[in-house]
Amino acid sequence: MHHTLHALAISERLAADLAPGALGVALFGSVAQGTDHPHSDIDLFLAAASDAGTEIRQVEGRMVTLTRKTLADLEGAFTRPWEAVVAVGAWRRARLLHDPEGHLARLQARADSWTWDEIGAEADRWAAGELVGLAEEVHKTRGMLDRGRPRAAAANRAILALQLGYAMSVADRLVCDSENDLWDAVAAAEGPAWATAWDDAAGITGAGHEAGCRAALALYRHAAARLEHHLEGDAKAVVRTACGLTEH
């Protein structure tokens, strides 16, 4: 508990220092929720008129991630499926440290009332588009595995496991408090077959390199079964060809 109080004190001091040039300052993540550990970073979001970007600081032994975004960009996260998964939950649990004109309170209220119905069609298009784009990683994983190039195969297997996780989080209409919660949430939503394959592909189970690559290919096949009905024409052909490679 001491480390949480320390992190909150750091957050308050930084917010006070940043306040003169900010439209608002909010604390996100595990520190805001009181679930941080001594090595958790402190996630501060600063609403600014311009000069968006991310800065990493070290303050009293704690890493601070300071993200500057415009109000338009912060609100835009509710319309971008790949961001909404985490942004909505993060705003719901955020601590507002500096909000003189109520801009951040408005964003938090938007998060509280937000549902996936607002962007359902776009969410499906985005997830299906990710599936099409990741077909290349299937070809690379299979090709590098067949050619005896384990490092290249491992890199592409990792890309598949990570990026398919994001695609399925959107397909499953998940809302997570942080990115750290996403992987368990997808595993719970997709069930044992996905969870086992993801654990093998990510190296959790110690299944071995080739088994891990096969597991990553199985994840793609699993995702395709969920998302292929959103595809048409060449996109569908690309995914079906890639799925054929996962079956050998």
pLDDT digits (tens, 9 = 90+) for 191-208: 999 999 999 999 999 999
pTM listed for this prediction: 0.92
Mean of the pLDDT values across residues 38-53? 89
Maximal C-alpha separation, the chain? 61
pLDDT tens-digit map of 88-104: 999 999 999 999 999 99
pLDDT band at 220 (very low <50, low <70, confident <90, very high): very high
Average pLDDT of 213-233? 95
Residue 35 has pLDDT above 90, yes or no: no
Q: Is the pLDDT of residue 77 over 70?
A: yes
5 compared with 187, residue with greater pLDDT: 187
Percentage of residues of the chain with pLDDT beyond 70: 99
For residue 37, the model assigns a pLDDT of 87
Residue 157 reports pLDDT greater than 90: yes
Handedness of CA 128, 129, 131, 135 (dihedral sign): positive
* Per-residue model confidence (pLDDT) at position 36: 81
Average pLDDT over the chain, rounded to an integer = 94
Q: What is the pLDDT of residue 31?
A: 85
Dump pLDDT digits (tens) for 158-172: 999 999 999 999 999
Q: What pLDDT is attached to residue 2?
A: 81
For the cut 80, the answer to whether the pLDDT of residue 1 exceeds it is: no
Mean pLDDT of 5-30: 90
pLDDT of residue 15: 87
| pLDDT for res 38 | 82
Q: What is the mean pLDDT of residues 114-137?
A: 97
CA distances from 171 to 6, 123, 150, 155, 226 (A): 38, 7, 31, 24, 8
Q: Residue 63 pLDDT more than 90? A: yes
